[in-house]
Amino acid sequence: MNCEDLVNIPLLKKGLTLISGANGIRNNISWIYFADCVQCLDEEYNISELIHGGEMVIITNKSLTDDDNKIIDIIKVMYPKKIAAVVINENQISKKIADYCEELNLPLFELSVELHLIDFSQIVCKRLIEEESETHSREKLLTSILFVDNFNEYEVTKRATHYGITISGKQSIAIIKTVGLNDPASIKRIQSLVENEFRYYDINKLLIYSQFETIVVMFPLEVFGKDSVVHFFEKIADKIHKEFEIEAYIGIGLGYEYLADIRESYTEAKSALQLISMEKQKYVLSYNDMGIHSLISQIRSPKTLDNYINDKLGRLIETDKVQDSELCNTLRAYIENNCNSNATAELLFIHRNTMRYRLDKIEKILNVDLDDLSVCLELKLAFIILDFRNSRKN
């Protein structure tokens, strides 16, 4: 539940008013926190240790609300921990506090005297608990689709509809891999960020789950229309980087109309992630844009791939090991430079005669003619497969 959902709860509409910080209206609420103790500002009382992120902070103690500086000091301590919003009693919010929250894009709500605090907290907590239960149920639905053989498609569709999720039409899987983030609470916040981004396309609920550093989401492709799905997820990766100061890599699978085929999209998304880790050039990649790599990833037999590598490059790899030479790297550079020996020599900082000597030696070891374009294409494919297999092993 975010702050926008909060103000739309029927029982709260008349008792809760947004005063400032509207730009943060999509901040997600994890729980409520009562910051009503005067000790909150004592040096020995480290209030930041009690904040985990996403809290809606309630301040009603007049000894605090009558002092703008105290309120601002409390917010200053809590804001870096990414609190969701601040709630203060009616007629206790000064312009100074309102302007400060506006500057932070932090929603500031006024609580009506007609809405008792005990009732307010009960309504919010009940909604959060119900939402958490629903979230677990939606996670189970997605894991059933992806990992359970012969799942009941009718039952899954029925349960998804119960939660307000339409899974008809082409559905795709995206896998978001974060780097260096082991905190489950932060992963949940990133999951909420992803869900919020989909709301701009009128998708209020998704099948989504998170595990360790990874978030998996199933989404309808049709909603994007002419918009680029890759561009959409690039914005998500950028937001994760800015808000959490970490890198996020996202692989996107193709769309499938039948639920039984969705696990193919999951496998494709994993392949896209694998290529990202190999090339380290992009943060987001669709399986649709993988080119020859998509064909390689469909070969299920590792032995078939290893046999191809061994057939095309095996003797050269073995020679490098025995003689401690650089023939494989030389050949790779030669192919990547469109088989231009002079350009390759410059790249490797070696003399042209040395380059010619190495190429002659490579041709002799592999028994090939490097002037033959088809031979160079086969060797290029062998290097691509070699990188693919090494990334799988890692």
pLDDT at 180: 83
pLDDT at 57: 95
Cβ within 8 Å of residue 254, ≥6 positions away: 172, 264, 265, 268, 287, 288
pLDDT at 193: 92
Pairing type for strands 55-59 and 31-34 reads: parallel
pLDDT at 64: 84
Instruction: Retrieve residue 378's tokens.
Output: 């086969």
3 state SS for 309-341: HHHHHHHHHHHHHHHCCCHHHHHHHHHHCCCCH
Closest CA to 199 of 237, 164, 245: 164
What does each of the 394 residues of the chain score in pLDDT, given as a tens digit? Answer: 899 999 999 999 889 999 999 999 989 899 999 987 645 545 556 676 788 889 999 998 888 888 999 899 999 989 998 899 999 999 999 999 999 999 999 999 999 999 999 999 999 999 999 989 998 999 999 999 999 998 999 999 999 999 999 898 999 999 999 998 877 878 888 999 999 999 989 898 999 999 889 999 999 998 887 668 999 999 999 999 998 889 999 999 999 999 999 999 999 999 999 889 887 778 999 999 988 887 887 887 889 999 999 999 999 999 999 999 999 999 999 999 999 999 999 999 999 999 999 999 999 999 999 999 999 999 999 998 998 888 777 6
Q: Is 3-115's fold the same as 302-393's?
A: no
pLDDT at 65: 86
Cβ within 8 Å of residue 155, ≥6 positions away: none
pLDDT at 178: 94
Cβ within 8 Å of residue 247, ≥6 positions away: 178, 179, 180, 241, 283
pLDDT at 99: 97
CATH superfamily, domain 302-393, is: PucR C-terminal helix-turn-helix domain (1.10.10.2840)
User: Quick one: 24 exposed, middle or buried, by C-beta within 10 A (0-12, 13-18, 19+)?
Assistant: buried
Pick the CATH number of 133-297 from 3.30.70.270, 3.40.50.300, 3.40.50.280, 3.90.1660.10: 3.30.70.270
Angle at CA 298, nearest 5°, toward 261 and 170? 30
Query: In a 3-state reduction of DSSP, which class is residue 36?
Result: coil
The ranges assigned to domains in the chain are 3-115, 133-297, 302-393
> CB neighbours (10 Å) of residue 390?
11
**Using CA atoms in the order 363, 369, 373, 379, what is the torsion angle rounded to 10 degrees?**
-30
CA distance 151 to 141: 10
CATH number for the domain running over 3-115: 3.40.1390.20
Rg of the chain, C-alpha, whole Å? 28
Q: How far is CA 287 from CA 196, 298, 388, in A?
A: 24, 11, 15
CA distance 23 to 19: 12
Consecutive H or E run containing 379: helix 373-393
Closest CA to 309 of 372, 373, 385, 362: 385
**Do the beta carbons of residue 146 and residue 190 sit within 8 Å?**
no
* Cβ-defined contacts of 219-226 (< 8 Å, 24+): 219/171, 219/172, 219/174, 220/166, 220/167, 220/169, 220/170, 220/171, 220/172, 221/169, 221/170, 221/171, 221/172, 221/255, 222/169, 222/170
Query: Which residues are bridge partners to 214 per DSSP?
Result: 177, 211
Full strand arrangement of the beta sheet holding 85-89: 16-20, 108-111, 85-89, 55-59, 31-34
CA distance 106 to 98: 10
Q: How far is CA 241 from CA 189, 195, 208, 245, in A?
A: 13, 16, 20, 5
Cβ within 8 Å of residue 200, ≥6 positions away: none
Query: In a 3-state reduction of DSSP, which class is residue 20?
Result: strand
pLDDT at 52: 84
pLDDT at 22: 96
The pTM score is 0.73
CA distance 22 to 2: 12
**Do the beta carbons of residue 287 and residue 267 sit within 8 Å?**
no
